[in-house]
Structure 1
């Protein structure tokens, strides 16, 4: 029994470490963006945000690859492929002598990180069922939520001690440790007789079903809008806090407060969503974000776009609480009509929502003008457009 419990704890820690690779790859880099822009003599410091965007570009396409591969060839071999690409990308980033090579390495990291991000859920589904599966995933996601809180602090420490290239060295080390542990201690969970042949026809049929299901498509697009607003914050945060507010030493703490707000929203959502329903939670969160952003916009007019740090955080913390309520509920509603193609459907929803969010997030980041206006108006645009999409195209079927 003790051996089984030890195995279970090891399994949970391994999955959490694998899933955290994406979050760490994004958030640990944030304190270094300004320094990267200076090192590569970028004409606009906002261009450094492409180190974040390029990772998500790779991640979006990678998510389409590994789901079908893991169903056809088992769980382990596609993860080996993903880790190999991530490690190669990390080495390329460490050695990059130009900004273009750095971006190429980040795309490879994104494609590689998609494998553990996507396939870990399938590993749990293969091994466990029902309440046991829910319990393990709850613990995994609890650990996963902590990573964005501590990652910028880790990145800041590495940046101060050794320079930004060694942040990629830390990512490389984490990939090696979790990859070797996975290789040595995790067995293959998908039996040969349960594997499905890789088929382009099946993928096209799945994509056709997604576009035919209006509810799935609407909430996939809304999820993309919300992700775009969040990505706009990721792109803007270093310039906002480090450059505009001169809070380089406190950047990790300020970023952690918003990340904790998202984590708290996940906990609250788990407690009340069954009572309120996902649609009501989504509408409540979007309307709250509209009112918050509208009121804050009035404050920006009075302060020439640069309110005090206190008022900025007073806006961001509840705004990210609303965004935290949206993330899980939007994904669940998008997946609700896609039960027949759950694995492939999940990959399509993740890919399309990421591709929708990338240009929005990039536009917000590149619009940075030494005020908070671009971020605030980006959040307002995202929330209003999402509400319009739901109002115009979501028609829940009345229950008999």
Structure 2
């Protein structure tokens, strides 16, 4: 994917850009969610005990968090396209390697490396969007991207379960490789370089560290980065333990993909709604309202999970409402956090994504390890993370919520 000469406007239109960015990010999601129905089979075949099966997901998250530190700096120097090319090639090659793994330790090592090497798929799309738009308009586009992106967590478990029945868990990794090739060809043919010459940064350690430090020490941004890391850490905890929750707690293993999809569908609806309202009300107002809603819903989840026999319908409804709140939080918080960093968008996206993913991976692994046969540890964790996230947002906003709109200078 050689770097093309910069064009002021992309050859592809806004709609095509939204879909392509969503699909690039969706490769990561498919690599996680399609594996969920297969965790039991992988554990049985490779001898992973109890909650250890969750490491197939946790290793990927941890690698992606550490790997996110690097793509932004290279994308700010060499352009967005070359970094995406490297990430896509790594995604394809390591998917094949995972399919050929002969023991559990080898599989976890490949998953860790894959998450690390493919981190550009999470970092670069946000920088590309920021190259073109900013402010509340960026929040609108990111919501549309996330809406398409989140169709993958709904569909991926069903695809994974279908492949599992037909060909076994290794074929899921084969499907990942095929998807990487298809999306890579589309990006090769249609995606122009969006980094301008005047915004290219040198690969010098100290300027890179300074840029990343700026992205993580800006008071107006850091509360939103940490806040989103905390609430998405609780989401990662759900992803890590979802197979056990649904298959063991509620004895619905055969219907895993339906229940998981039902929980995630709220996120899709939230991102569509956000794309329609955020430019009118502002990313801050919508994001703050969503965080307060998440806290209220988490209290309800804790009450429901504390019952001797939690009804399945309550779990699905409350998780879907929680996912909807996270849908509003994700695009708005990330857009607010990126707003001050137009000239170092790649480095800023790297630093912020690394902090979000690393924190989320550690929290997700911890929350998943607390699984005790009920949904109560997850409910306690979601409530705790949301309350601490609120404290960080209040720090960034100097104690005031529902403030001004984010201006769009582009």
Task: Place the TM-score, normalised by the shorter chain, in its bin.
Answer: 0.7 to 0.9
> Residue 163 of structure 1 aligns with which residue?
168
1:356 to 340, 359, 364: 359
Q: Could you say which residue in structure 2 is the equivalent of 1:388?
A: 391
Ranges in structure 1 where 5+ consecutive residues have no aligned partner = none
Matching residue of 1:265:
270
Paired position in structure 2 for 1:366:
369
Q: Which has the higher contact order (CA 8 A, sep 6+)?
A: 2
CA separation of 1:178 and 1:333: change in aligned 2, threshold 3 A: closer
Query: For residues 305-340 of structure 1, what are the alpha-carbon distances to aligned partners after superposition, in whole Å with 9 as ceiling and x for unaligned?
Result: x40111211221212211212111221222234345
Please say which of residues 221-230 and 72-81 is displaced more in the overlay.
72-81
Normalized against structure 1, the TM-score is what?
0.87
User: Matches of residues 263-302 of structure 1 in structure 2 within 5 Å?
Assistant: 263-301=268-306
Q: 1:150 to 1:291 in 2, by over 3 A?
A: same
Of 192, 204, 211 in structure 2, the residue corresponding to residue 206 of structure 1 is 211
Aligned counterpart in structure 2 of residue 52 of structure 1, from 53, 57, 74: 57
Task: Give the Cα separation in 1 of the matches to 2:286 and 2:16.
Answer: 35
Q: Deviations over 1:124-159 (max 9, x none)?
A: 666x66999999877654432321211111011001
Aligned pairs, how many?
392
Q: Which residue of 2 aligns with 1:375?
A: 378
Name the structure 2 match of 1:40: 46
1:195–1:239 CA distance, 2 compared to 1 (3 A): same
CA deviations over 1:158-182 (Å, ceiling 9, x no partner): 0111111110010011112322443
2:304 and 2:310 in contact (8 A); partners too: yes
Quote the residue 2:5 is aligned against. Answer: none
Q: Distance in 2 between matches of 1:121 and 1:206?
A: 16
CA contact (8 A) 1:84 1:112 kept: no
CA distance, structure 2, for counterparts of residue 197 and residue 239 of structure 1: 47
* Equivalent of 1:117 in 118, 122, 127: 122
Output one character per residue of 1:362-391: Cα deviation in whole Å (capped at 9) or x when no partner: 111111111111111111111121223334
Deviation at 1:299, TM superposition (A): 3.4
Query: d(CA) in 2 for partners of 1:16 and 1:396?
Result: 34
Secondary structure of 2:102 counterpart? coil
> After the TM superposition, which of the residue ranges 78-87 and 308-317 deviates more from structure 2?
78-87
What's the counterpart of residue 316 of structure 2? 313
CA contact (8 A) 1:21 1:175 kept: yes
Query: Aligned partners of 2:326 and 2:197: how far apart in 1?
Result: 41
Q: Provide closer, same or farther for how the CA distance between residues 164 and 121 of structure 1 changes in structure 2, counting only shifts above 3 A.
A: same
SS in 2 for 1:64: coil
Judged with a 3 Å threshold, the aligned counterparts in structure 2 of structure 1 residues 42 and 184 are, in CA distance, closer, same or farther, namely same
Aligned to 2:3: none
Cα 1:120–1:276 change in 2 (3 A) is: closer
Task: State the partner residue of 1:344.
Answer: 347
Residue 20 in structure 1 maps to residue 23 in structure 2:
no
Q: Distance in 1 between matches of 2:44 and 2:312?
A: 25
**What per-residue deviation string (whole Å, max 9, x for no partner) do you get for residues 10-63 of structure 1?**
76655443232111111111111122122222222x211111111122222332
Q: Is the 8 A contact 1:62 1:112 kept in 2?
A: yes
Choose between structure 1 and 2: higher helix proportion: 1
- Aligned equivalents of 2:21 and 2:297: distance in 1? 36
Asked if the contact 1:85–1:111 (Cα under 8 Å) also holds between the matched residues in 2, the reply is no
Q: Among 178, 181, 197, which residue is 2:183 paired with?
A: 178
Q: Which residue of 2 aligns with 1:333?
A: 336
**Contact preservation (8 Å) 1:87, 1:109:** no
Residues in 1 aligned to 2:280 and 2:128: alpha-carbon distance in whole angstroms: 30
Q: Is the 8 A contact 2:223 2:395 kept in 1?
A: no
Distance 1:144 1:333, change over 3 A: same
**Which segment is superposed worse, 72-81 or 34-43?**
72-81
Q: What is residue 240 of structure 1 aligned with on the other side?
A: 245
What CA RMSD, in Å, does the superposition of the two structures yield over aligned residues?
A: 3.1
Contact map agreement 1:57 1:355 (CA 8 A) in 2: yes
Asked if the contact 1:214/1:393 (under 8 Å) is kept, the reply is yes
* 2:6 corresponds to: none
Matched residues in 2 for 1:119 and 1:139: separation? Answer: 17
State the TM-score, normalized to the length of structure 2: 0.85
Q: SS where residue 198 of structure 1 aligns? A: coil
Matched, 1:31 2:34: no
Alpha carbons 1:82, 1:111 under 8 Å: kept? no
